[in-house]
Every structure is written in structure tokens, then in C-alpha cells.
Amino acid sequence: MLQVYLVRHGETEWNVARRIQGQTDSPLTEIGLRQARLVAQRVKSQNITHVITSDLGRTRQTAEIIAKACGCEVQLEPRLRELNMGVLENRELNSLTPEEESWRKSLVDGTPNGKIPEGESMNELSARMRAALESCLGLPAGSRPLLVSHGMALVCLVSSILGLPANSERRLRLRNCSISRVDYQDSPWLASGWIVETAGDITHLDMPALDELQG
């Protein structure tokens, strides 16, 4: 059985400002750095062998703190990037027009083929996130990888493992520096392949985590 840990990056300045990030970057806040240190302390006893991260700055900051605690090198994986939010990146939520808000909502309310202009569809996001996860199957026997990614991206990945369409209504919350785990296994009581062991665990955090904001 292969166990893969999934961690969302720590709180960022744009999370606090309620600004849409997507693939545009924003540094971690002091709270975000603390969250990263707390998640590192939580996982350092789990024999993590690989820390693999989205190449965006906020995930790299988080991953470097985790990797140091686990004694691993950081490996960059662009397929773990957040959803490209197109023309809405760098926009504050309260500045969106009704039409722009409808574009944003189409990503989470089950709209078929929902997509922001110049952005990425949920189907495209799902395909690359699943490909990044599947690549873990090629790691040496006994590996225990940890992937650092983003809110929309990780929700899409976990939902796909549960068999939900990429554009299904979003019903899963993964807060900053939450931990999820997915396993690749063969069990007489579960479907063969990837299964969700845990999702969105924040018991290691010592303060309330902000709700996620696209990224």
C-alpha cells in the first residue's frame, strides 16, 4: 500500500485580503508560517520520504518548512499548481461584477464546463492533479510522499478519487495547512486503487484556520 499525504499551503496575504490568487502568487503571513511549522511537526514522525510541491511561492514556502523537519529535499511539480483563474486573478472578491461573480461561482456550483475567461476548466485541473498523484506510483518501494498544493486543486483531486465529476458541486472544505491522506491499496472491502483515508484534518493547528479562497 502507498500512503500519500496532501497538505494545503499556509495562510497568505491574499487569503486575508480576500483576493483571488489562482496561479498568481502571494507570500505567507506570519500565521501561515506558523501553520507550516505546526504541520511540519505533525508529519515529521510519519517517515515522509519525499516532499513534492507546486512550484508557486506559497506552496514552496510551506514545503521547505515541512521538508526541513522531515529531512527531505523539496521536489517541484508544476502539475500541482492551483487552478488558473484567468481574468479574475488578483481581484478582490467584493470588486467583482455580477457577471464576473457568475464566472467564479461556475467553478463550484456544478455548472457544466464552468470556466473563467482565459482560465482553466475543472476538467483540466482534475487531469493534471490526477497525473501528479499517479506519478507517485513510480517512486521506490517503501516511499511515503507528501504533496503540497492548493485549495481548489486538492479539493478537485480528492473529489475525483471519490468518483465525483470534476465540475460537481463543491462540498469539501480544505483549510490552510490541513492534512489529507489518500492510499493506493487493494482491499476486499473497498474499491481497488486510490481511496481517501482522511480529508481536511486541522487538529494540529493551534488557532482557527481561515476558510480557503481559491488557492
Q: What is the mean pLDDT of each run of 10 residues along the chain (215 residues)?
A: 97 94 95 97 97 98 98 97 97 96 95 94 97 98 98 97 94 95 94 96 81 50
13: in domain? yes
Give the global pTM.
0.95
98: in domain? yes
3-class secondary structure, 199? strand
| Beta carbons of 14 and 213 less than 8 angstroms apart | yes
72: in domain? yes
Active-site position among 9, 77, 89, 120: 9
207: in domain? no
Q: What is the structure's pLDDT at 82?
A: 98
206: in domain? no
Q: What is the structure's pLDDT at 214?
A: 45
Q: What is the structure's pLDDT at 208?
A: 63
CA 72 to chain centre: 20
The number of distinct structural domains making up the chain is: 1
Active-site position among 50, 77, 82, 89: 82
Catalytic site residue 204?
A: no
Domain that holds residue 15: 2-201
Name the binding residues.
8-15, 21-22, 58, 60, 82-85, 151-152
- 49: CATH: 3.40.50.1240
Q: What is the structure's pLDDT at 91?
A: 96
Name the binding residues for substrate.
8-15, 21-22, 58, 60, 82-85, 151-152
208: in domain? no
Count of CB atoms within 10 A of residue 142's CB?
8
Catalytic site residue 9?
A: yes
215: in domain? no
Q: What is the structure's pLDDT at 207?
A: 72
43: in domain? yes
> Per residue, what are the HEC states of 64-98?
HHHHHHHCCCEEECHHHCCCCCHHHCCCEHHHCCH
